[in-house]
A and B are shown apart, each in its own frame.
Chain A
Amino acid sequence: MLIYLLRRLAIALCVAVTVSIVSFSLLHMSGDLATAIAGPESSAAQVEAIRVQFGLDRPMVTQYMDWLGKAVHLDFGKSFYFQGPVMEMVSERLPITMKLGGIALLLAIVVAIPLGVLAAIYRDTWLDRVALVIAVVGQAMPSFWFGLSLILIFSVTLHWLPVAGNESWENFVLPAIALGYYAMPAMMRLTRAGMLDVLGSDYIRTARAKGLSKSKVIFKHALRNAVIPVVALAAVELGFMLGGSVVIESVYSMQGLGQLAWDAISRNDYPVVQAVVLIIAMFYIGLTFLADVINALLDPRIRTR
């Protein structure tokens, strides 16, 4: 198992480096950086001075290594727009996005797993079909539309929850539902498939033959095995949510990382965009690696490889 994990770790690191290169090039594709920093009112001489001052006249590789070195220390330079350190802006917004993603994932899991278990136990009955319908419909709705509809129903009409912002826990309910709903179908299906798999296996039949009661059989043995891939998927879904939160944060006007990236994109503030893309990708890579570790720890088959 150790070798398996080390191999996955090595791959993760290589991927991280590649992503950092892509993210670095984003900044440099956006046009002449020296002019952007110097501002529209500056003369050619001032632009040149800025170019030298920021080291933009050095070869690309040197600039990349320099940037990477600073990035590892979480120094992403200064925002073009606000003249303040990028990391400060990022660290203000990151907790909000993490909170949103975490709650969304929790909601998705809390709905997906029981639903999947029930769908598997009562396979091909109306319960199974209803679960499948929920899954299929969930994946068909555009997330921004679902988010807006939730506001329309729960904030404006019923007035149970606030419309926008991120001050109190109430602000997180609707966005978490909107964000988590999209991840729920995949996890539900996986749970269902896993349960069906395990319930039909020799292992379970043996346990039943031994005389263990049906519910004991299900909840002790089957669930544990069926849930393994779901947990791994959950880690990956969290990564997706971090990346996809920009839409939900925009709809609910939350000051999260996604909204920061979106604002930065719309005002050509590329150092910020670069930093956010890199950070989110790193989280995703980390979470995928975590998923691998969980898989390895919980699945006895992988463990013995």
Chain B
Amino acid sequence: MNAKKNVTHKTLTGWARGALLLAGAAAISSPALANKANDTLVYASDSEVENISQYHNNLREGVILAHLIWDTLIYRDPKTGDYKPQLATAWKWESPTALVLDLRQGVQFQNGDKFSADDVVFTFNYVVSSESKAVTRQNTDWIKSADKLGDYKVRINLKQPFPAALEYLAGPLPIYPGAYFKKVGLDGFAKAPIGTGPYKATSVTPGQGVTMVKNTNYFKDSPQGQPKIGNIKFVIIPDPETRSAQLMTGAVDWIWRVPADQAESLKSTPKISVQSGETMRVGFVTIDAPGSSSPNSPFKDLRVRQAVNYAINRKGIADNLVRGGSKPVYTACFRTQFGCDAKVAINYDYNPAKAKELLTAAGYPNGFDTDIYAYREREFAEAIIGDLHKVGIRARLHYMKYAALQVEYRNGKTPLTFQAWGSFSMNDTSAFAGVFFKGGSDDITKDPQLRQWLEAADSSTDPAVRKANYSKALESISKQAFMAPLFSYSTFYAYNAQLKFQGYPDELPRFYEASWK
């Protein structure tokens, strides 16, 4: 009887799977998948950027757009890691706090304006000023000002020696057209952005997406090469299953952040390619150590913070939920970042019993109620909540958009948050630990000793001194359990099999490299 039942079950399941695959295949063979024929690449992601200007949003979606529409002074080759000339042709440290750059001649902005030193000077002086209302200060705080030394020569003045400067100049610091920006202002710029990059934005629809067209005048000597695909369209689809469904029906050509379960199923779908890999992005829980979120915040007590670290099953989440190469993380940095010393971190193993002991010792034998805020991967947040619930920390979930969460977090109102940080793909501990512990707006711990060590590390040009200070800071963060670093993200890309696409561990899809097969 059992054998018969099993056969029936297997047959039924088989039929169900077959039906779905058939549906998927039928979907894809329909003429809707004409995007290669239209030479239009449609890519979808989950979050909209509130402002397309790279200095006014903190989202990865913004970084992708920035690399399509604008260029930076320096280009870091993702395959070799070398710095190559992009808008700047040469650079030299005049002094530890002054960097002089020679600029490329003959480059045009997408509206015809000629690129020159005026634009570089304008961009940097504008973003460091308070009127700009920039939200990415952690990327530009090291800059004091920029001076024009000639039509194609500038000097960037630093507040203090900052060895990671080149890394930042090659990353999230695009160059804006000075004259145009002054004419239309930030609002106008956000609606009709202009840059020197391989793609020009033809329309920006808030909440829906961005359409871009190939910049046929893109300067021939760019280390990025010339763009191949004629049109690119970015659409916002918040639900991961809708994104998958749109991919399967051909309405969209490329998606990412595919939940691991869906990725498994998509792998077996014909005409869709799936790529995966570990990334530099780290998921972590921030903890309100100073207790600003409520008068008698339990998190002021070290034992409670340690309990949070012992309560969460990092390996379980990494292996079963995130998958694709995800690994547990115990440091306030990613292991490939310069200065990230894994040896000094305490590896809080998964130990709910110990967590309960610590809570009881801290005076919470029956646990306590609190709040946790999150804006992404609700599933991971729920797993974390479940783990905390088990030891008695009953955290209520506040799930909201990133901009809203950032306001609450920066104002010190959040006891716990679940966030992820990709360090803007910069391989330097300053891009992670510095952001959250050096006194910037994302630093809620406000520990003066940490600040001192991190500033010393960031401003010395001697790598040994830098490493020593980073180690001290990371050790303290771990011992004091100021945060609970959890796991590294993997990402699953799924895309139209007719597309030639290469993903990199820095989590920056380079559509300007992509082409049709």
The reply to whether A and B meet directly (CB within 8 Å) is yes
Contact residues of A between 265 and 283, Cβ < 8 Å to B = 266-268
Closest CB in chain A relative to B127 CB, distance in Å: 12
Question: Knowing A163-B246, A266-B401 touch, does A81 contact B50 (C-beta < 8 A)?
Answer: yes
Contact of B242 among A36, A164, A255 (CB under 8 A): A164
Contacts of A164 in B (CB 8 A): 237, 242, 245-246
Interface residues as binary, B12-27 with A (CB distance below 8 Å gives 1, 0 otherwise): 0000000110010011
CA distance A218 to B135 in the complex (A): 70
How far, in angstroms, from A247 to B249 measured CA to CA in the complex? Answer: 23
Closest-CB distance, A49 to chain B (whole angstroms): 11
Given the known A-B contacts A81-B403, A82-B207, A260-B207, are A39 and B133 also in contact in the complex, defined by CB atoms under 8 Å? Answer: yes
Q: Which one of A54-62, A154-162, A221-229 contacts B?
A: A154-162
Given contacts A40-B411, A159-B27, contact A82 B50 (CB under 8 A): yes
- Whether A206 is near chain B, meaning CB under 8 Å from some CB there, is no
The answer to whether A82 and B206 touch across the interface, beta carbons within 8 angstroms, is: yes
**CB closest chain-B residue, reference A268:** B404
Q: Which residues of A contact B19 (CB under 8 A)?
A: 157
Indicate if the CB atoms of A253 and B239 lie closer than 8 Å: yes
Also in contact, A40 and B410, with CB within 8 A (given A84-B191, A163-B242, A165-B246): yes
**Cα-based distance from A240 to B338 in the complex (angstroms):** 58
Interface SS majority for chain B: helix
CB proximity of A42 to chain B, nearest CB, Å: 7
B397 cross-chain contacts in A, Cβ below 8 A: none
Interface residues of B in 178-231 (CB under 8 A from A): 187, 190-191, 206-208
B363 to chain A, nearest CB (A): 33
The yes or no answer to A97 lying at the interface (CB within 8 A) is no
A41 sits at the interface (CB 8 A): yes
A75 contacts the other chain (Cβ, under 8 Å)?
no
Q: Are A157 and B246 in contact (CB under 8 A)?
A: no
Q: Is the CB of B137 within 8 A of A41?
A: yes
Chain A residues with CB under 8 Å of B51's CB are: 82-83
B251 contacts A by Cβ under 8 Å = yes
Chain B residues with CB under 8 Å of A79's CB are 206
Chain A residues in 8 Å Cβ range of B406: 40
Given contacts A41-B441, A164-B246, A266-B401, 9 further A-B contacts (CB under 8 A): A40-B411, A41-B135, A42-B133, A82-B51, A82-B207, A89-B207, A156-B23, A164-B242, A253-B242
24 contacts between A and B (CB under 8 A): A36-B407, A40-B135, A40-B406, A40-B407, A41-B135, A41-B441, A42-B133, A81-B206, A81-B403, A82-B207, A83-B50, A83-B51, A84-B206, A89-B207, A156-B23, A162-B249, A163-B242, A163-B245, A163-B249, A164-B245, A253-B238, A253-B239, A255-B208, A267-B400
**Interface set of B (CB-CB < 8 Å, partner A):** 19-20, 23, 26-27, 50-51, 130, 133-135, 137, 187, 190-191, 206-208, 237-239, 242, 245-246, 249, 251, 400-401, 403-404, 406-407, 410-411, 441
